[in-house]
A and B are shown apart, each in its own frame.
Chain A
Amino acid sequence: MSAGTTDVDLDWRGVGDDSEEVTRAAGLRLARSARRLVADLLRPRRPAVALALLILVVENAVMLTGPLLVALAVDTGVPAALDGRPAPLAWSVAGYAACGLASSGLRAAFLLLSGRIGQDVLLELRRRVFRQAQRLALEWHESYTSGRLISRLTSDLESIDDLLQQGLDGLLGALLSLAGITVLLLLIDPVLAGVVLAGFAPLALLTRWFQRRSRASYRLTRTWVARVIVQFVESMNGMRAVQAYRREARNESIMEQLNHRYRDANADALLTLSWFVACVRAVGNLTLALVLLLGALRVTSGALELGALTAFLLYLRRFYDPLDQLAQFMNAYQSAAAALEKLASVLETPIGVPEPAHPRALPVPVRGALAFDRVTFAYPRAPERVVLPEFSLTVPAGQTVALVGETGAGKTTLAKLAARFHDPVSGAVLLDGVDLRDLADADLRRALVMVTQEPFLFSGSLADNVAMGRPGASRAEIAAAVEAVGAGFAHDLPEGLDTDVRKRGGRLSAGQRQLVSLARVVLADPAVVLLDEATSSLDIPSERAVQAALETVLADRTALIIAHRLSTVAIADRVLVMGGGRIVQDGTPGELLASGGDFADLHAAWQDSLR
């Protein structure tokens, strides 16, 4: 089944890469990895699972004993009591009461245990998926997108939670009583039991049909709920534009499309379930009628005792009761399985920029010499478009380099390679002579920090956000970092550093958010600093303050600065003009200005813009 990407009414999404379709072979592989994941999660909890099963066995035994005690009370207890011997009756009633108490206690014990197992599994799964997402390469994030990741970590995990909360009990309990009762039926009358067992054939077929149909529906629900979430999250995050451009109505019609598809996929799954449940019940009742007919004939022909038939019929009823539970479980399972498949595939994605098995250490203290040794790079999404062809560059420790050039010249790519957001296709990026691929991530990040184009703020106070630069920094250190970048606005906020910046830093202006990003770097105190358009939204006085601050901050550090505004060049020791993934000009600002060429032109244009 297609996820519906070819629909005409979805053309607002535009043309892009949608690789969510599931082929049959891929579906089987997905199901296999989902099962492996479950087994892997349950393995360390084997003793607890075994204990839960044992409790369940005892509980079932106790529950099957109850009716026997009632029979004992009626058949033996009452006549004895009539004879003036109340003891057997008293014992069987007391026995029944004990059974009741025991089964109530056992039920609670089972729920506590299975609830704990379920919650432990869920916590472990949450932790694994989240950690994996934090490790996966940025490339992966860019193609997977935040909306889908959010839906994996929220709605998909939720449906697994549902399975664990209601399903496990149903499955184990149903399987146990099925097994127990099958044995009892066989003991009572093998011929009639044969009829019952023959009913298994259509049940197996039904189950197969249900599995296939509902798996397809539930996969669709996962896909569509993810799209609903993407639409929701993007609308909420872009609410300013939505309202300013009156997109509300358009958004509503888009949400309606997505919402309706999610609804239909859900309804489809429920309708499939309704057929399954009804058919299972029909097979059960058909078997009952057959057993009655055959049983009556066998009793009249003397092949079977009347009492045995009665017992058989009673147990038969109980036999089909858990099948409903089983159907309920199957349903929760199908839904969770579709979610598990998605999670398993995230967990199985190879980490694009893996940590080395045997990391090498950086010299202490880190000097900060950066080198690109014949680096070739193309983004995996467009491998034929080479962004950097055989690029070599050496930046000595402590040098401040300004990267200049037009959009698409490869400046940001260079910075991303230095920050190991990506690994080169060939060649190597070296920090103090050590290949970045041989460095432990923690060591690399301690030595080198990049400030990206968009200053992202997390919910919390201003101080919390600056402290991202170095968790555990003291209050004084945070204040000093804020002072260092000239973020004087912090004093004007109602609660100073403790002011809640509100969602995504909505309380602050874009320029203020950039100052927060810079304060993070100052606090982080790395040997190498990479700034990618980190000051674009600052006004001139702030930029002047930042330049002055950077001059001191960067004095003994290596720095790579990308900026459209050439004011940055003022603090640079060296300017690199890039074009088409190559270095076009390289020299001190003064040299380049004097020699004429691209940089001199750029500089003249910039000077113009300042008048």
Chain B
Amino acid sequence: MPADPDTAQAQDPPTTEPSGAVIRPAATLAALRRLAPYVRPHRRALLGSGAAALAATLAALVIPLVTRRIVDGPIARGDLSPLPWLVGGVLALGLAEAVLLLVRRRIVARPTTRIEADMRADLYSHLQRLPIAFHDGWPSGQLLSRAVQDLSTIRRFLAFAGVFLVVNTITALVGIAILGALSWLLGVAVLVVAVPLVALTLRLVRRYAVVARLAQDQDGDLATVVEESALGVRVLRALGRGRQITERFVAGARGLRRTELRKVRLQAALWCVLVLLPEAAIAIILAISAWGVATGALTVGTLVAAVTIMTYLYWPIASLGWLLTEAGNAAAATRRYWEVRDVAPAIVDPPDPVDLGPVRGRVEFRAVRFRHEGAEADVLRGVDLVVEPGETMALVGATGAGKTVLTSLVGRLADVTGGAVLLDGVDVRRLRLADLRTAVATAFEDPVLISASVRENVALGLPDASDADVWEALRVAGAAGFVEALPWGLATRIGEQGLSLSGGQRQRLALARAVLGRPPVLVLDDPLSALDVHTEAEVEAALRSVLGGVTALVVAHRPSTVQLADRVALLEDGRVTAVGTHRELLARNATYRDLLSSPDAERVGAA
């Protein structure tokens, strides 16, 4: 069964419009729960860190108790003999606290950075499996901001806020319980103050989650502008549009600032509420217990203890607002991360793949239809074409006729939306992707270089290729000459971070890529467009020898490229309307003549 091409198409990229939907705290929790697969292997470290944090807090809490014993004992009675022991106790507790703090931070340092790195690696490899259609549709900055910013938000949450959210909540609850034990009246009073404030807190946190999401999306949009401004700097410079793009960027940055200020306002409100909570509790405790003392219902000791407890609870409670906002940020980041991870790769290995034996190289298009996602009409409307083993077929058609789409179907960079492409009689969707793409090499119109050595650029997916193989491929592509002249030969870094090459040189490297490893089927999309006349003749000669033994589909705009082919197919209105040799088609097909004859040549001569 061929994979159903209609399933699991790329999900729409997010818009930055606020969804309007209120995100519930339960949803925050649900989002964070999706971190589980990454957190689980490190749960012991994270729990250990939490335990160490609690223990450190306890050690710090015990110190005042020992201090009190010193004050009440040796100092009050003037008997200094137990003093060394007690001071030793304080010292031990103090050191224990320091060691626990060290432990708390040390045991999470590696696990949390590892979680971040693992999530990034998985996102990266997932993205590499998503089809080109997905990549064309998603703004690159949105992907980048997920891979970098969102993941560091998650890391920071796990390392700090997450731990303290739990520890502080426990501390606050325990503190209030102790208070209740001390005097039920005080416990009830604190709860009465707490309920409305906690309700208010939850409301604010919910609103914060929506704004946090918006901020992250805007950040991604800003990253998209940044990326385009950096990659398209030549065009911007040539047209003098630096100011316009700067204005666009600043407008985006202002939008982000507005959202960040909304976050600030919500954070301020949260702090306001959560500072008020312990302060109000202390005031009420003070009032009730003082009244209790005055009426004889409570002792002064209880009063002091209650106030002390609430003072200790001040920071754990007040910090909850900030910790909750961090949780909101992390939840939004997690959701953004999974939005991309949840997109199922549309082009995958079939469940029951057919083994591709020795490849003869017969490529057949059978009633192939293709429609861009979201488009209303097919680009290809029933293409029938057979390229026999060892044959070189040129593909000719007007700009926008769908030639490039057709070439991407053979190596399954896109899947047909109707009909089938067959390799040696087998639907390409029934083959393993690795097998198929080993058999079929595709060279594109835009030769993309990576910032790496020449060797790496040519070998791309075959890092084990020998230098001799690489040189051979370079020779075939007519690139050996200029590569030899590079300062470090094959090891010279090229691409953006290295030496820059001309369009023709880049195109020859792309060609070398395609012929490396001698794949039985070559798909070349206008492989010679950027070459000058001399180089073109040179590369043609070399190509001719390569194309001798393999099946090739070559998109051609020029008579010289067509000359390489045994036969030519004319693509018109989404169908192949004529197949034949160059001479035949020139003789009998008017469209073809129009596409491939160049009267300008005579005009120059006449000038």
Given A245-B460, A602-B533, verify A611-B559 contact (CB < 8 Å). Answer: yes
Residue picked from A89, A154, A256, A611, most chain B C-beta under 10 Å: A154
**Minimum CB–CB distance for A24 against chain B, Å:** 26
B144 at the interface (CB under 8 A from A): yes
Residue picked from A93, A111, A243, A255, most chain B C-beta under 10 Å: A243
Q: How far is the CA of A442 from the CA of B237 in the complex (A)?
A: 11
Q: How far is the CA of A317 from the CA of B376 in the complex (A)?
A: 71
Q: How far is the CA of A120 from the CA of B91 in the complex (A)?
A: 46
Q: Which residue of A lies closest to B223 (CB)?
A: A154
Given A105-B272, A112-B268, A540-B558, verify A503-B139 contact (CB < 8 Å). Answer: yes
Q: Is B535 a contact of A407 with CB atoms below 8 Å?
A: yes
B149 at the interface (CB under 8 A from A): yes
Q: How far is the CA of A245 from the CA of B517 in the complex (A)?
A: 11
Q: Is B132 a contact of A239 with CB atoms below 8 Å?
A: yes
What B residues does A77 contact at CB under 8 A?
290
Residue interface bits A371-396, CB-to-B below 8 A is 1, else 0: 00000000000000000000000000
Q: Which residues of chain A in 432-488 are interfacial with respect to chain B, using CB atoms and an 8 Å cutoff?
A: 441-442, 444-446, 449-456, 458-459, 468-469, 471
B455 at the interface (CB under 8 A from A): yes
Q: How far is the CA of A252 from the CA of B234 in the complex (A)?
A: 30
Q: Is A260 a contact of B148 with CB atoms below 8 Å?
A: no
Stretch at the interface among B29-37, B330-338, B589-597: B589-597
Q: How far is the CA of A471 from the CA of B257 in the complex (A)?
A: 26
A593 at the interface (CB under 8 A from B): yes
Q: Is B460 a contact of A250 with CB atoms below 8 Å?
A: yes
What A residues does B208 contact at CB under 8 A?
none
Q: How far is the CA of A183 from the CA of B605 in the complex (A)?
A: 96
**Minimum CB–CB distance for A395 against chain B, Å:** 18
Stretch at the interface among A13-21, A40-48, A197-205, A361-369: A13-21
Stretch at the interface among A138-146, A206-214, A336-344: A138-146
Report which of A97, A263, A609 forms a contact with B536, defined as CB distance below 8 A: A609
Q: Is A262 a contact of B117 with CB atoms below 8 Å?
A: yes
Q: How far is the CA of A289 from the CA of B93 in the complex (A)?
A: 10
Stretch at the interface among B172-180, B422-430, B489-497: B489-497
Residue interface bits A405-438, CB-to-B below 8 A is 1, else 0: 0111000100000010100000000000000000
Q: Is A544 a contact of B598 with CB atoms below 8 Å?
A: yes
Q: Is A570 a contact of B603 with CB atoms below 8 Å?
A: yes
Given A142-B500, A286-B94, verify A299-B75 contact (CB < 8 Å). Answer: yes
B504 at the interface (CB under 8 A from A): yes
**Minimum CB–CB distance for A534 against chain B, Å:** 11
**Minimum CB–CB distance for B55 against chain A, Å:** 13
Report which of A93, A101, A255 forms a contact with B276, defined as CB distance below 8 A: A101
Q: Which residues of chain B in 213-256 are interfacial with respect to chain A, using CB atoms and an 8 Å cutoff?
A: 219, 222-224, 226-246, 249-250, 253-254
What A residues does B533 contact at CB under 8 A?
564, 566, 602, 605-606, 609
Q: Is A138 a contact of B233 with CB atoms below 8 Å?
A: yes
Given A245-B441, A458-B232, A540-B557, verify A407-B504 contact (CB < 8 Å). Answer: yes
Chain A residues touching B, majority SS: helix
**Minimum CB–CB distance for A607 against chain B, Å:** 6
**Minimum CB–CB distance for A161 against chain B, Å:** 8
Q: Which residue of A lies closest to B373 (CB)?
A: A502
Report which of A149, A421, A455, A512 forms a contact with B237, defined as CB distance below 8 A: A421
Q: How far is the CA of A407 from the CA of B502 in the complex (A)?
A: 8
What B residues does A407 contact at CB under 8 A?
502, 504-505, 532, 535
Q: Is A567 a contact of B239 with CB atoms below 8 Å?
A: no
Residue interface bits B525-550, CB-to-A below 8 A is 1, else 0: 01001111111110000000000000
B97 at the interface (CB under 8 A from A): yes
Q: Is B253 a contact of A97 with CB atoms below 8 Å?
A: no
Stretch at the interface among B15-23, B120-128, B182-190: B120-128
Q: Is A609 a contact of B229 with CB atoms below 8 Å?
A: no
Q: Is A255 a contact of B121 with CB atoms below 8 Å?
A: yes
Q: Is A567 a contact of B600 with CB atoms below 8 Å?
A: yes
What A residues does B234 contact at CB under 8 A?
138, 421, 452, 454, 456
B70 at the interface (CB under 8 A from A): yes
Q: Is B375 a contact of A288 with CB atoms below 8 Å?
A: no
Residue interface bits A233-246, CB-to-B below 8 A is 1, else 0: 11111111111111
**Minimum CB–CB distance for A606 against chain B, Å:** 5
Q: Which residue of B lies closest to A492 (CB)?
A: B400
**Minimum CB–CB distance for A303 against chain B, Å:** 12
What B residues does A469 contact at CB under 8 A?
239
Given A293-B83, A537-B526, A567-B601, verify A134-B445 contact (CB < 8 Å). Answer: no
Given A104-B272, A119-B264, verify A270-B109 contact (CB < 8 Å). Answer: yes
Q: Which residues of chain B in 502-530 are interfacial with respect to chain A, using CB atoms and an 8 Å cutoff?
A: 502-505, 510, 513, 526, 529-530
Q: Is A296 a contact of B286 with CB atoms below 8 Å?
A: no
B105 at the interface (CB under 8 A from A): yes
A182 at the interface (CB under 8 A from B): no
Q: Is B236 a contact of A115 with CB atoms below 8 Å?
A: no
What B residues does A89 contact at CB under 8 A?
290, 294
A346 at the interface (CB under 8 A from B): no
Q: How far is the CA of A459 from the CA of B229 in the complex (A)?
A: 11
Q: Is B223 a contact of A471 with CB atoms below 8 Å?
A: no
Q: How far is the CA of A92 from the CA of B287 in the complex (A)?
A: 9
B129 at the interface (CB under 8 A from A): yes
**Minimum CB–CB distance for A562 against chain B, Å:** 10
B contacts with A, residue count (CB < 8 A): 195
Q: How far is the CA of A162 from the CA of B6 in the complex (A)?
A: 43
Report which of B105, B144, B603 forms a contact with A232, defined as CB distance below 8 A: B144
Q: Is A236 a contact of B601 with CB atoms below 8 Å?
A: no
Q: How far is the CA of A134 from the CA of B290 in the complex (A)?
A: 68
**Minimum CB–CB distance for B394 against chain A, Å:** 12
Q: How far is the CA of A86 from the CA of B404 in the complex (A)?
A: 90
Q: How far is the CA of A4 from the CA of B74 in the complex (A)?
A: 60
Q: Is A103 a contact of B261 with CB atoms below 8 Å?
A: no
Given A14-B492, A154-B144, A541-B594, verify A274-B557 contact (CB < 8 Å). Answer: no
Q: How far is the CA of A541 from the CA of B257 in the complex (A)?
A: 50
Residue interface bits A112-154, CB-to-B below 8 A is 1, else 0: 1001100110110011001101110010011001110110011
A60 at the interface (CB under 8 A from B): no
Q: How far is the CA of A142 from the CA of B141 in the complex (A)?
A: 21
Q: Is B276 a contact of A489 with CB atoms below 8 Å?
A: no
Q: Is B136 a contact of A100 with CB atoms below 8 Å?
A: no
Q: Is A292 a contact of B114 with CB atoms below 8 Å?
A: no
Report which of A97, A441, A569 forms a contact with B240, defined as CB distance below 8 A: A441
Given A15-B491, A131-B246, A251-B128, verify A539-B80 contact (CB < 8 Å). Answer: no
**Minimum CB–CB distance for B200 against chain A, Å:** 12
Residue interface bits B73-100, CB-to-A below 8 A is 1, else 0: 0111010100100110011011101110
Q: How far is the CA of A275 from the CA of B452 in the complex (A)?
A: 38
**Minimum CB–CB distance for A246 against chain B, Å:** 4
Q: Is A240 a contact of B398 with CB atoms below 8 Å?
A: no
Report which of B93, B257, B526, B604 forms a contact with A593, defined as CB distance below 8 A: B604
Q: Which residue of B lies closest to A70 (CB)?
A: B307
Report which of B279, B398, B434 forms a contact with A539, defined as CB distance below 8 A: B398
A189 at the interface (CB under 8 A from B): no
Q: Which residue of A lies closest to B276 (CB)?
A: A104
Q: Which residues of chain A in 227-282 are interfacial with respect to chain B, using CB atoms and an 8 Å cutoff?
A: 228-230, 232-252, 255-256, 259-260, 262-264, 266-267, 270-271, 273-275, 277-279, 281-282
Given A154-B223, A289-B90, verify A74-B513 contact (CB < 8 Å). Answer: no
Report which of A116, A150, A237, A408 forms a contact with B448, defined as CB distance below 8 A: A237
A582 at the interface (CB under 8 A from B): no
Q: How far is the CA of A375 from the CA of B537 in the complex (A)?
A: 34
B437 at the interface (CB under 8 A from A): yes
Interchain residue pairs with CB less than 8 A apart (11): A12-B452, A14-B498, A78-B300, A108-B268, A134-B245, A240-B408, A252-B128, A270-B159, A292-B86, A567-B598, A589-B607
Instruction: Add 8 more A-B contacts to A232-B144, A293-B83, A611-B559 (CB < 8 A).
Output: A100-B275, A115-B264, A244-B411, A250-B463, A277-B101, A503-B137, A539-B595, A544-B599
Q: Which 6 pairs show the lowest CB-CB distances between chains A and B?
A: A445-B240, A285-B94, A100-B279, A14-B453, A115-B264, A16-B493
